[in-house]
A = this chain, B = another copy of it.
Amino acid sequence: MSSTVAKALTLLDHFSENEPEIGLSDLARRSGLDKATVHRMLSVMADAGLVEQRHDTKLYRLGAGILRLARIREKAFPFASVLQPELDLLAQETGETAHASLISGRALATVGICESSKANRVSLVVGEVLPFHATASGIATLAFGTEELSARVLTGPLDGKTSFTLTDPGRLNALIETARRTGFGETDQTNEIDVYGIAAPYFDKTGFACGAVAVATPSHRMTEALRDKIVDAVLRTAQVITSGTGGTQPAGYPETVRKTLSSLPDGSA
């Protein structure tokens, strides 16, 4: 059940902004694999350019081949580039940290960030992978993604990231249903303590969500007014991104949102 390529590729996940270079033994320890195994894997990945080894410290880091592949993808399907300006705008408009992500395997990959200019802000590490079930972006994406995706997530393991994380498939599905009605995902401290997230999905050409744009604020700062402002801005940004990347909204999406939105402040139909 554990293919060797899968094991090799999980090695890449141990590299992060905070830890861009890792030694062989260290990497073996974390991945739970044998030193020799990791060594062989890294060698062939270095050969392919996915990683590279500094010849002085012997440490490994992500390689130049990744940049090359990213350029190819970005040239063929521009996303990060068309996304960033909208993200900057969203952050400025709301005064809070904005970020965007895309479905990447069994999780969300953060592909764009613009941090708030406030001193007290939510700070995100570049390239972090976000679990579907514990983030507003994940909920928003699941709500409007393919049936197969949500099924896979709901049947998979639901790690408790904080004490607020929904680890029960039933309750998680209820939250997804809510998002499906309102048009956006909303979570409070389910992934990290004191972080409140509001996210709206954007769509690919087939009308399924391929990711979400979100605004993250310190939980204690969240008010009814700020929430409404963010929901509005996030939904608008998502729509811009959808059309900007050649996606199409599914039938009835904007209408549903509008209706639900207008009912939010006072609860009237």
Residues in A lying within 8 Å of B, measured CB to CB? 3-6, 8-10, 12, 15-17, 20-21, 40-41, 44-50, 52, 54-56, 61-77, 79-80, 102-107, 109-111, 126-127, 129, 146, 148, 204-206, 208, 211
Contact = CB atoms under 8 A, between A and B. Distances in A.
A265 to B, nearest CB: 35
Secondary structure at chain A's binding surface: helix, strand, loop or mixed?
Answer: mixed
A73 B17 CA distance: 8
Contact of A55 (B41, B48, B146): B146
Given A49-B107, A77-B20, A127 B64 contact: no
A104 B64 contact: yes
Given A61-B73, A74-B67, A208-B55, A9 B48 contact: yes
Given A12-B69, A79-B67, A3 B44 contact: yes
Nearest to A208: B55
Contact of A9 (B45, B68, B70): B45
B127 A63 contact: no
A20 B73 contact: yes
A208 B55 CA distance: 10
A60 to B, nearest CB: 12
Given A67-B109, A68-B109, A71-B126, 6 more contacts: A3-B40, A3-B44, A62-B72, A63-B73, A68-B111, A69-B70
Contacts of A146: 55
Contacts of A41: 5
A210 B14 CA distance: 24
Nearest to A204: B54
Given A17-B76, A20-B76, A104-B64, A9 B44 contact: yes
27 contacts: A3-B44, A4-B5, A5-B8, A6-B44, A6-B47, A9-B45, A15-B69, A17-B76, A20-B72, A20-B75, A20-B76, A49-B107, A52-B103, A54-B206, A55-B208, A61-B76, A63-B73, A64-B109, A65-B104, A65-B109, A66-B66, A66-B73, A67-B70, A68-B129, A71-B111, A72-B127, A75-B126
